[in-house]
Structure 1
Amino acid sequence: MIKQGYHHGNLKQALVEAALRLIEERGPTGFTLSEAAKQAGVTPAAVYRHFEGREDLIAECARQGYAIFADLMEHAYAGGTPSALAAFGATGRAYLAFARRHPGHYMAMFEAGISPNRTPELAVASARAEAVLSRAAELLSRHIPAGRRPPAAMFSAHVWALSHGVVELYARTAPGTRSPYSAEDLLESGIGIYLRGLGLLPPDA
Structure 2
Amino acid sequence: MSKRGYHHGNLRQALVEAALELITEKGPQGFTLSEAAKAADVTPAAVYRHFAGREDLIAEAARQGYEIFAALMEFAFNGGKPSALQAFEATGRAYLAFARKYPGHYMAMFESGLSLNHYPDLALVAAKARGVMEEAATALSDQMPPDRRPPPSMFSAHIWAMSHGVVELFARGAPGARSPFPPEDLLETGIGIYLRGLGLLPHDR
TM-score of the pair, normalised by structure 2: 0.91
2:200 is aligned to 200
2:61 is aligned to 61
Aligned CA distance change for structure 1 residues 7 and 45 (closer, same or farther; 3 Å): farther
1:45 is aligned to 45
CA–CA distance in 2 between the matches of 1:28 and 1:77? 30
2:23 is aligned to 23
What does 1:42-191 correspond to in 2, within 5 Å?
A: 42-80=42-80, 82-174=82-174, 177-191=177-191
Q: CA deviation at 1:68?
A: 0.3
Is 2:88–2:140's contact at 8 Å kept on the other side of the alignment? no
Q: CA deviation at 1:175?
A: 5.2
- 1:109 counterpart letter in structure 2: M
Aligned CA distance change for structure 1 residues 8 and 37 (closer, same or farther; 3 Å): farther
Q: CA deviation at 1:150?
A: 2.4
CA–CA distance in 2 between the matches of 1:98 and 1:162? 15
- 1:46 counterpart letter in structure 2: A
Aligned CA distance change for structure 1 residues 87 and 7 (closer, same or farther; 3 Å): closer
1:12 is aligned to 12
**SS of residue in 2 equivalent to 1:51:** coil
Is 1:85–1:191's contact at 8 Å kept on the other side of the alignment? no
TM-score of the pair, normalised by structure 1: 0.91
**SS of residue in 1 equivalent to 2:118:** coil
Q: Percent identity?
A: 73
Is 2:170–2:179's contact at 8 Å kept on the other side of the alignment? yes
Aligned CA distance change for structure 1 residues 200 and 82 (closer, same or farther; 3 Å): farther
CA–CA distance in 1 between the matches of 2:11 and 2:118? 22
Aligned CA distance change for structure 1 residues 22 and 49 (closer, same or farther; 3 Å): same
**SS of residue in 1 equivalent to 2:88:** helix
Aligned CA distance change for structure 1 residues 144 and 175 (closer, same or farther; 3 Å): farther
**Structure 1 unaligned blocks of 5 or more:** none
- 1:185 counterpart letter in structure 2: D
**SS of residue in 2 equivalent to 1:23:** helix
- 2:46 counterpart letter in structure 1: A
CA–CA distance in 1 between the matches of 2:11 and 2:80? 42
- After TM superposition, where is structure 1 displaced by more than 6 Å over at least 4 residues in a row? none
Is 1:23–1:30's contact at 8 Å kept on the other side of the alignment? yes
Q: CA deviation at 1:184?
A: 0.4
